[in-house]
Structure 1
Amino acid sequence: MSVASVISVLDDDPSVRAAINNLLESRGYTVHTFASANEFLASADLHGTSCVIADVQMPVTSGIDLLTQMRAQGSATPFILITAFPDDNVRLRAHKAGATCFLGKPFTASDLMKCLEVALTAGDESTE
Structure 2
Amino acid sequence: MPAASIISVLDDDPYVRAAINNLLESRGYVVHTFASAEEFLSSAHSSRTSCVVADVQMPSKTGIDLLTQMRAQGSATPFILITAFPDEGVRMRALKAGATCFLGKPFVAADLMQCLEQALAAGKTSTE
Please report the TM-score for the alignment, with normalisation by the length of structure 1: 0.99
Equivalent pairs counted in the alignment come to: 128
**Which residue in 2 is equivalent to 1:14?**
14
**Which residue in 2 is equivalent to 1:103?**
103
Cα deviation 1:41-63 (Å, max 9, x = unaligned):
00000111000000000000000
> Does structure 1 residue 74 correspond to structure 2 residue 85?
no
Cα deviation 1:62-89 (Å, max 9, x = unaligned):
0000000000000000000000000000
**Which residue in 2 is equivalent to 1:59?**
59
**What secondary structure, in the 3-state scheme, does the structure 1 residue paired with 2:67 have?**
helix
**Cα offset for 1:120?**
0.1
How many Å separate the matches in 2 of 1:82 and 1:35?
14
**Cα offset for 1:33?**
0.1
**What secondary structure, in the 3-state scheme, does the structure 1 residue paired with 2:46 have?**
coil
> Does structure 1 residue 121 correspond to structure 2 residue 121?
yes
**Cα offset for 1:13?**
0.0
RMSD over aligned Cα atoms: 0.7
- After the TM superposition, which parts of structure 1 deviate over 2 Å for at least 4 consecutive aligned residues? none
**What secondary structure, in the 3-state scheme, does the structure 2 residue paired with 1:122 have?**
helix
How many Å separate the matches in 2 of 1:12 and 1:98?
22
**Cα offset for 1:2?**
1.9
Please report the TM-score for the alignment, with normalisation by the length of structure 2: 0.99
**Cα offset for 1:16?**
0.1
How many Å separate the matches in 1 of 2:38 and 2:46?
11
For structure 1, which runs of at least 5 residues remain unmatched after alignment? none
**Cα offset for 1:3?**
1.3
Matched-pair identity in %: 80
How many Å separate the matches in 2 of 1:46 and 1:15?
22
**Cα offset for 1:127?**
0.6
How many Å separate the matches in 1 of 2:58 and 2:38?
10
